[in-house]
Amino acid sequence: MEIRTPIPVSEAVSLVMEHAVRGSSEQIPLEESYGRFLAQDLVADHDVPPFDRSPYDGYAVRSVDTAGLSGDNRAAFQVVGEIGAGSVFEGEIGYMQAVRIMTGAKLPEGADAVVMLELTKPLAGSKVELKREMKPGENISFRGEDTRSGTVLAEKGSFITPGLSAPLAAFGYAEVPAAKKPVIGVLATGSELLNPDEPLEDGKIRNSNTYMLLSQIKRAGGVPLYLGKFSDDLDQCTEAVQHALAKVDVLLTTGGVSVGDYDYLPDIYKRIGASVLFNKIAMRPGSVTTVAEHRGKLLFGLSGNPSACFVGFELFVRPVIRFCCFSRRPHIRKEKAVLGSDFEKANPFTRFVRGTVVYEDGVIKAVPSGFDKSSAVSSLADANALIVLPGGTRGYKAGMKADILLLDDQKGSDRPWENTAPSFR
């Protein structure tokens, strides 16, 4: 039997990233940009606001004319015009003149303050009564006070949030330069697998990995392409892999990666001439995760066990997709949390426990989300994080701090695997 030497997670991730490639860019309609990744920096090409404007409905005046005004010393100003938002006042405000101005309208020439409508009283003969001294610049939204022309509002590779849609629109991106989504193929192997719509049979289980991966691919930013389910037959699987490679940017297979008699993936890699980067990682679950490279394309041999498959994807495939989408922090986001329960059993390998992160009065706490075996399906349902428990000779106690990896995050981490182990032992 083949003896495999496990390598550390950090080394495995580095090996994978050596073969990750940047993708290409495409123009997409602004209204479809939510959830995509920016293909270039978003730079302000003009000041925001683009002109001095009024933040309120009221009257634009020259502050100098309001000197000394108070409730006991009111004055009548001549209303010489009205500016709706979007309109521009022609001419200049003069001595003791006011212009009725709406929220968002450009301040007229000569004016340097806006009196709120609530503090004014209309008088006969197109006049308005004011009763307060205004400071120069009072109630004005100044040109550029929000954003100066030239400011980088979001860097290349940023996830496009709803909040980013606003500046994209403001700076004229009717079409947004976005990272083209890489196509990630999924090929399931295993004679025990039934389709979700098939009735259960003795000895068989339904294929859950594929559907989980299709969703994981979407969350990571790729386009999933399901290429079918194959029995444990070497010739058939080899052909399937070869066909698949022509259609995808990255190929994921599930199952067949172990050292058993029915685990054909090592043979398939050999047959097609792919070079194996590694086939054993010092981690649980997913130690048999195998990654190979073939003519510039990465092939991920993920475990057939759901939890192992899930973890393998998030650690190794996600960063490849995010890197392709120009992210500068392609890895799953790593943060510290307080352990909410004991993990008594020591493990020589680094463990990634499906966990639920809860916030307790400003503190981040992580608890396991359920049954913890590589084959587990149920613990995935509630997991929003992976709890990282570095391998060693001792277990972990509730209250200790540990690294967590945030599954739903879109910001990412730069190099999450530096200093994982020593940081909390």
- Write out the binding residues for its own copies, residues 264-303 only, by CB under 8 A: none
Cβ closest to its own copies, residue 18 vs residue 118: 118
Does position 33 interact with its own copies (CB under 8 A)? The reply is: yes
Of 320-339, binders to its own copies (CB under 8 A) are 335-338
Query: Which one of the spans 13-21, 123-131, 244-252, 253-261 is the region binding its own copies (CB under 8 A)?
Result: 253-261
Bridge partners (DSSP) listed for residue 412: none
Q: What is the smallest separation between the CB atom of 183 and its own copies, expressed in angstroms?
A: 15
For its own copies, which residue of 22, 24, 51, 394 counts as binding (CB under 8 A)?
51
For its own copies, which residue of 68, 118, 393, 422 counts as binding (CB under 8 A)?
118
**How far is Cα 387 from Cα 414, in angstroms, rounded to an integer?**
18
Cβ closest to its own copies, residue 18 vs residue 202: 202
Q: What is the smallest separation between the CB atom of 89 and its own copies, expressed in angstroms?
A: 9
Does position 131 interact with its own copies (CB under 8 A)? The reply is: no
Does position 218 interact with its own copies (CB under 8 A)? The reply is: yes
Cβ closest to its own copies, residue 189 vs residue 350: 189
Spatial neighbors of 78 by CB under 8 A, at least 6 apart, are 96, 97, 98, 126, 127
Does position 141 interact with its own copies (CB under 8 A)? The reply is: yes
Cβ atoms of residues 312 and 300 within 8 Å: yes
For its own copies, which residue of 105, 128, 282, 291 counts as binding (CB under 8 A)?
105
Q: Which residue has the tokens 């195998």?
A: 290
For its own copies, which residue of 81, 104, 110, 391 counts as binding (CB under 8 A)?
104
Does position 85 interact with its own copies (CB under 8 A)? The reply is: yes
Q: What is the smallest separation between the CB atom of 220 and its own copies, expressed in angstroms?
A: 9
Does position 57 interact with its own copies (CB under 8 A)? The reply is: yes
Cβ closest to its own copies, residue 87 vs residue 236: 87
Does position 232 interact with its own copies (CB under 8 A)? The reply is: yes
Of 165-184, binders to its own copies (CB under 8 A) are 165-174
For its own copies, which residue of 78, 103, 149, 420 counts as binding (CB under 8 A)?
103
Q: What is the smallest separation between the CB atom of 176 and its own copies, expressed in angstroms?
A: 10
For its own copies, which residue of 127, 131, 180, 401 counts as binding (CB under 8 A)?
401
Site string for its own copies, 360-399 (x = CB under 8 A): -xxxx------x-xxxxxx-xxxxx---------------
Does position 197 interact with its own copies (CB under 8 A)? The reply is: yes
Q: Which residue has the tokens 């006042």?
A: 89
For its own copies, which residue of 238, 289, 327, 410 counts as binding (CB under 8 A)?
410
**Alpha-carbon distances, residue 283 vs 136, 226, 348 (angstroms):** 66, 27, 9
